[in-house]
Structure 1
């Protein structure tokens, strides 16, 4: 019985460890292009910040991080504080942020930018991902299905606007996941774009974790309390500071 219990604990620990991702990047001086050493880099997690410092090449790694959206902070007394909003972290994946350039340390200023995730994954061209930053630019599109059909090659919307077709695939070979809950048959709920945090569409190269689905997969992650909290905090910071 003791051996079984120990084995279960080990398996459980391994399973938990697989549910994390990380953020990597490089910090440089905007004027000289040289690496910035010993800068503090961190994200807010709701309970306590998780962070690191840059090495001699200006590189940093922040881990372990639960899947979700984070605001990335960079601070060094020699430069203006830097904030990159909405960096998305996924299970068992490394999120590499664009090169961070720090500017002059002017009194009461900081640099604020939005993280933009590549629409097409370089590792899987059949995978398209959109963050809330991208979706906000399409706030005029009320129908999620219409937005996907306009952006993703090979995907078409039916006349009623409630179902998508992936390159002729049958409805039973298409699935939609909303916050982890599966909706079979390619049905697309009508969600306002400002309620969606992340949208991922697979038209091929579908991971085995989705079972025997071969037509297409739509993954919708809606905004939660912490997302609205971060947005409120971000707006407050913007109103209290001069943004570069």
Structure 2
């Protein structure tokens, strides 16, 4: 009986974690080729994560938006007039963010060997997410304090301080007013996680989305790297090395 209860509790926790996970969106506009302004209408656009696909269809203007994608780096897939996209485009999905890929030319010019080109993801110089600070996996890897998660967050956000009890606080609020999430699961405090396992950190110091509840102390959201993220990163490096 106890084993059954533990199994039910474990399944409930897994379902809760999956339901409360971190998600973002991908959007862009698809054109037939770079020489003309002809939109690629009603093309299928999607990304893959394990056995799941997240997709959308372009409209009359070639615009698309794929909603509620788990955070991570993806390879964009496009099918138009029974053809597939010849170039590899990376899209980075972050918590509550919209990855805008801008203009995509379906029939892009490729080299004579018919190998695909890789469009590498680059963090934008200007962020339009007000009240929000993102720390990417690349930032973490290059940080001198990456072994200390609290120091890492402090070094990237001047609004956060440490109180006398060692708790993090934002703009003078009490330490226990700061909400922490790891992969969508609420925690009492910032947990110690190896920096190599962190996919990204998002800090809300203001303009906090309503879904995180009523708090005046801010929100810290941590995303860990999944098996799919590691597998995809290895495949991307392999493709780039063979190009």
Same structural fold, with TM-score higher than 0.5 when normalized by the shorter chain: yes
Separation in 2 of the partners of 1:175 and 1:29? 46
Q: Is residue 105 from structure 1 mapped to residue 105 from structure 2 by the alignment?
A: no
- Deviation, structure 1 residue 41: 2.8
Hey, what does 2:89 align to over in structure 1? 83
Cα pair 1:139 1:194 within 8 Å, conserved: no
Hey, what does 1:231 align to over in structure 2? 233
Q: Is residue 166 from structure 1 mapped to residue 170 from structure 2 by the alignment?
A: yes
Separation in 2 of the partners of 1:180 and 1:49? 20
Aligned residues: 215
Which structure 1 residue ranges, 5 or more long, are not aligned?
Answer: 1-15
Hey, what does 2:4 align to over in structure 1? none
Hey, what does 2:16 align to over in structure 1? none
Hey, what does 2:161 align to over in structure 1? 156
Cα pair 1:127 1:203 within 8 Å, conserved: yes
Select between 42-51 and 224-233 the one with higher mean Cα deviation.
Answer: 42-51
Hey, what does 2:208 align to over in structure 1? 206
Q: CA RMSD in A?
A: 3.6
Cα pair 1:84 1:115 within 8 Å, conserved: no
Change (3 A) 1:29 1:128: farther
Separation in 2 of the partners of 1:20 and 1:218? 15
- Deviation, structure 1 residue 174: 1.8
Which structure 2 residue ranges, 5 or more long, are not aligned?
Answer: 1-18
Separation in 2 of the partners of 1:108 and 1:28? 21
Write the deviation string for residues 11-34 of structure 1: whole angstroms up to 9, x where unpaired.
Answer: xxxxx8xx9764321134785473
> Of residues 62, 67, 73 in structure 1, which corresponds to 2:66?
62
Write the deviation string for residues 213-235 of structure 1: whole angstroms up to 9, x where unpaired.
Answer: 31122111211222212222222
Hey, what does 2:179 align to over in structure 1? 175
Looking at both structures, which has the greater relative contact order when contacts are Cα pairs under 8 Å and sequence separation is at least 6? 2
Separation in 2 of the partners of 1:222 and 1:119? 24
Separation in 2 of the partners of 1:173 and 1:89? 21
Change (3 A) 1:212 1:50: closer
Map 1:1-244 onto structure 2 (within 5 A).
22-28=25-31, 31-32=34-35, 34-38=37-41, 40-63=44-67, 65-75=68-78, 80-88=86-94, 90=96, 95-102=98-105, 103-106=108-111, 107-114=114-121, 116=123, 120-122=127-129, 125-138=130-143, 141-157=146-162, 163-184=167-188, 187-240=189-242, 242=243
Separation in 2 of the partners of 1:87 and 1:163? 29
